[in-house]
């Protein structure tokens, strides 16, 4: 199996840039709350669990005015009240958001493409029985992951709600990216692999996106997704100490956290087999959010590696096979 990477958060994103995005979001979302810091009903509504539709839940922590509930049925976490459809799109299409976002990912660009995207590619390649498969990346952004797969001889297409993302992918890598909402786009072909990296947690109806992916999937094909975990170390830490991390929670953006239970439920519901599940966390560095000398960083990375072995890292990576 593919070797794990000991990921250093600060080589990917600097503390300063993380805090910049956090402040930007805090300011941009201030109008969603009233003078008592309570969510306004024009921006929020009460809804059932977005993953299993159960309506019983319990508040586990409150951060930046957002109340996070644990679904008593599937153990996932979600914000309640939940942001209404369309509210986030307005925020994402704010030009300033793109500026902060570009800044945030700028430093780690080479590691991201040369190491992380390569690892994603080789993980899928080792689990797939087909050479030169076709791939659709949902929420592909500027297309760096797609380009890595293309370089390895795969046929690739992307989907992204951002018009600039589709242009960037076409200009830089000559890759076809459908612009719009994945659930609404009509595709004229099916694929061997459909990937959703850090996408489902931003959607108001993640299950319908998985349903659509399954419909577009060839026999023996694979759906791969990465989502924030509800079972991780950092979520337990939050329940205890109610602190506000600039990563993981990303108030207003990460509104759904997947439990191991719901991942099993999704596989069962769609008749897919869990081929592999791993956690890729940055829990400890997120809690500490400080720069350390190399010796301590080394230890932190070892603790994180141990958490990941226990599947307690803050993101799950899931490979489901048809």
CB of 257 to Zn ion, least distance (A): 11
Q: Which residue's CB is nearer to Zn ion, number 49 or number 263?
A: 49
The rounded distance, in Å, linking the Cα atoms of 211 and 221 is: 14
68-76, 194-202, 267-275, 308-316 -> range binding Zn ion (CB under 5 A)? 68-76
The rounded distance, in Å, linking the Cα atoms of 36 and 157 is: 46
Among 71, 169, 193, 213, binds Zn ion (CB under 5 A): 71
Residue carrying the six token digits 């402040």: 23
Residue 207 interacts with Zn ion (CB under 5 A): yes or no? no
Q: Which residue's CB is nearer to Zn ion, number 49 or number 301?
A: 49
Residue 263 interacts with Zn ion (CB under 5 A): yes or no? no
Instruction: Please name which of 143, 145, 147, 204 lies closest in space to residue 168, comparing C-alpha atoms.
Output: 143
Q: What share of the chain is helix, strand, coil (3-state, %, to 5)?
A: 40, 25, 35
CB of 112 to Zn ion, least distance (A): 32
Q: Which residue's CB is nearer to Zn ion, number 8 or number 231?
A: 231
31-39, 41-49, 114-122, 216-224 -> range binding Zn ion (CB under 5 A)? 41-49
Q: Which residue's CB is nearer to Zn ion, number 173 or number 258?
A: 258
Q: What track of x and - describes contact with Zn ion for positions 74 through 113 (by CB under 5 A)?
A: x-x-------------------------------------
Q: In the structure encoding, which two tokens stand for residue 71, read together?
A: 């679904």
Residue 52 interacts with Zn ion (CB under 5 A): yes or no? yes
The rounded distance, in Å, linking the Cα atoms of 43 and 10 is: 34
Distance of CA 315 to the CA centre of its chain: 8
The rounded distance, in Å, linking the Cα atoms of 229 and 312 is: 8
Among 18, 21, 49, 256, binds Zn ion (CB under 5 A): 49
> Can you give 214-250 as a three-state secondary structure string?
HHCEEEEEEEEEEEEECCCHHHHHHHHHCCCCCCCCC
Beta bridge partner(s), residue 274:
320
Q: Which residue's CB is nearer to Zn ion, number 47 or number 253?
A: 47
CB of 73 to Zn ion, least distance (A): 5
Q: In the structure encoding, which two tokens stand for residue 311, read together?
A: 């599947």
Please give the residue ranges that form the binding site for Zn ion (CB under 5 A).
49, 51-52, 54, 71, 73-74, 76
């Amino acid at each position: 199996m593919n070797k794990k990477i000991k990921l250093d958060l600060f080589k990917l994103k600097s503390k300063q840039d993380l805090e910049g995005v956090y402040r930007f979001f805090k300011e941009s979302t201030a109008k969603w709350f009233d003078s008592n810091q309570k969510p306004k009903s024009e921006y929020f509504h009460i809804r059932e669990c977005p993953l299993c539709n159960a309506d019983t839940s319990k508040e586990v922590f409150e951060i930046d005015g957002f109340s996070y509930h644990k679904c008593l049925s599937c153990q996932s976490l979600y914000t309640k009240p939940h942001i209404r459809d369309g509210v986030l799109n307005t925020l994402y299409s704010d030009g300033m958001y793109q500026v902060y976002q570009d800044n945030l990912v700028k430093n780690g660009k080479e590691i991201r493409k040369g190491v992380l995207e390569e690892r994603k590619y080789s993980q899928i390649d080792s689990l797939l029985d087909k050479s030169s498969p076709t791939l659709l990346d949902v929420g592909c952004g500027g297309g760096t992951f797609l380009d890595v797969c293309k370089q390895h001889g795969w046929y690739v297409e992307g989907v992204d709600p951002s018009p600039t993302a589709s242009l960037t992918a076409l200009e830089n890598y000559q890759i076809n990216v459908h612009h719009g909402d994945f659930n609404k786009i009509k595709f004229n072909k099916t694929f061997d692999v459909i990937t959703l990296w850090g996408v489902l947690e931003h959607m108001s109806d993640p299950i319908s996106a998985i349903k659509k992916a399954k419909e577009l999937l060839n026999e023996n094909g694979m759906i791969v997704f990465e989502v924030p975990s509800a079972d991780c170390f950092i979520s337990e830490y939050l329940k205890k100490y109610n602190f506000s991390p600039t990563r993981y929670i990303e108030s207003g953006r990460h509104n759904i956290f997947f439990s191991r239970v719901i991942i099993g439920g999704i596989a069962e519901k769609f008749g897919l087999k869990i081929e592999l599940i791993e956690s890729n966390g940055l829990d400890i560095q997120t809690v500490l959010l400080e720069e350390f000398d190399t010796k301590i960083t080394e230890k932190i990375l070892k603790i994180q590696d141990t958490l990941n072995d226990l599947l307690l890292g803050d993101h799950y990576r899931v490979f489901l096979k048809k």
